[in-house]
Amino acid sequence: MRTVGILYRPHLEAAATLARQLAEALEARGDRVWLTPAWQEGDGLQTQLDSTDVLVGLGGDGTILLAARATLARAIPILGVNFGRLGFLAELPPHEALARIPALLDGQGHIEDRAMLQARLHRFGEAQHEPPDEEPEHHALNDVVVGRYAPGRPIYIEVAIDGQFFNTYRCDGIIVSSATGSTGYNLSVGGPILHPQAQDLVLIPVAPHLNLRNALVLQPDTMVELRVRTDHQAVLAVDGQLNLPLSEGDRVEVRRSPYVTRFLRTGERSRFYETLVERLR
């Protein structure tokens, strides 16, 4: 018996209604189904995921990003149903979900792996033998951003690439994105769009002042170090959902994660560019 998890966007009645309808349809076929609203991560969700074969996400890209981090290291395929505005990560519109999801679960789709990012936080002055104050390692499907905490003065961020100093930016922030994240925050500041299955990283500054504005496309095995050089607070943002305060001297190492996000897709493997134009239009 297959187990299907349904993660739906809370406070959106249409998503909750479709989640219930989908659960009833799948259970009628003999599947085991569980439902939970997004943003309620915890031990209960992790226990359910241990025996889950496919996770269906009903919501916007934020719901899919949460699902990607929740399924980390489990390699559970995610099928996204778009209730958001753009829905770059989703596969189906809501009106097709009930008709098409059973066939996809029965093997009429394919699995697509997406590279993720790993961010490791090093607090300034933290002795190597001392345990960190918080979990230092975080994983992102879209991007890792080091930026200013609030509107006001820009911050200084020192960038090193593979251990070699590259540049010090006076800017609002630095984005390191995956290929998947290239259509997110990176795109909004003029960065390049990569094919979502590319392994490369993109580094781009946000509103740099009198400095290099160009984006860098980096090789898959590149390690980027971002060190905060500022006398006021900055923030580390992981997929725009986890936010950790940073202070002078704190350092963030970003590289490709050992994990991937797996998506359950339809049989149409070459529609990325067509879909891209549709979404951006």
Catalytic positions? 61
Q: Name the amino acid, one letter, at 175.
A: I
Q: Name the amino acid, one letter, at 130.
A: E
Phi and psi for 161 in degrees, rounded to 5? -120, 120
Return the exposure string of 145-172: e unless at least 16 CB atoms fall within 10 Å of the residue's CB, then b.
Answer: bbbbeeeeebbbbbbbbeeeeebebbbb
Segment (H or E) for 279:
helix 272-280
Q: Name the amino acid, one letter, at 118.
A: Q
| Contact criterion met (CB below 8 Å) for 141 and 125 | no
What sign has the CA pseudo-torsion 278, 191, 116, 139?
Answer: negative
Strand ranges (E), the chain = 3-8, 32-37, 54-59, 78-82, 110-122, 137-140, 143-148, 155-161, 164-171, 173-177, 201-206, 216-218, 224-229, 234-238, 242-246, 251-265
